[in-house]
Amino acid sequence: MKWFGVKAWIVVLALMLTGAVSAYAQEETKRAWYMPEIANVGAGIHGGFQNSKDSDGGTGFGGAHLRFRFLSFLGIEVAADATTETFLNESVVLTETPLSVTGLIYPFGAPFTFFPWPVTPYLAGGGTWVFFRTDFRNGLATGATNLQAAAPPETYLAPGWHAGAGLDIGLTKNVAFNIEYRQTFWDFRENIDNATVRAALPDLSTNNYQIRGGLTFLFH
């Protein structure tokens, strides 16, 4: 009788476990495709408009990114961009490759569904590392102020940081579009190795703002 009682408890526990697994599976099946998933990974491309404070004018940029969603309200993005800017009437040309690691905070967790597509607002912030090359032209590349001769083109690294906010828009279960406003803060002049060049250059601000748009392809 004692052994029969143990077997009865085993059967009961097995039925309870089966019911729980079945209920979870049904819940997963019922869940709308646009609801956030834990450990959701995506890869994609992005681009947009960038304008630095002291540049000659705005310019375009492009890049690629990876995204990972830890929780319904928390994710991370790793991205690389490429762009070229000019300063002082094209006397200074900066070729830039920024790398960034961005924390993504989704304060509302689940998306808003009263739009034609599900929309999820987020806040963004993190570190930026800008690999950049300087080319000096016009008056900065001739005569006594020949900075091009003093510092021929080479690549430098400047640390910085960024912050912004954006919207994730679900197009399908596997494709999301995002639009974001971002500000990045970094200093190219202070990160040039050549002291002569640093002293000859005016204090140009490379702090910039970006309007970004991108597509992310999700892997479930």
| Whether the predicted model's global pTM rises above the 0.85 cut | no
How far is Cα 43 from Cα 170, in angstroms, rounded to an integer? 14
Band of pLDDT at residue 105, cut at 50, 70 and 90: very high
What are the pLDDT digits (tens) for 1-59? 455 455 555 555 554 554 444 444 444 445 676 676 766 899 999 999 999 999 999 99
Question: What is the pLDDT averaged over residues 181-198?
Answer: 90
- The CATH number of 38-219 is 2.40.160.20
Domain regions of the chain by residue span:
1-30, 38-219
Beta bridge partners, 180, equal 166, 212
Kindly report the average pLDDT of the chain as a whole number. 85
pLDDT the model gives residue 160: 98
CA 169, distance to chain mean position in Å, is 15
pLDDT the model gives residue 7: 58
How far is Cα 41 from Cα 220, in angstroms, rounded to an integer? 7
pLDDT the model gives residue 25: 43
Residue 205, pLDDT > 90, answer: yes
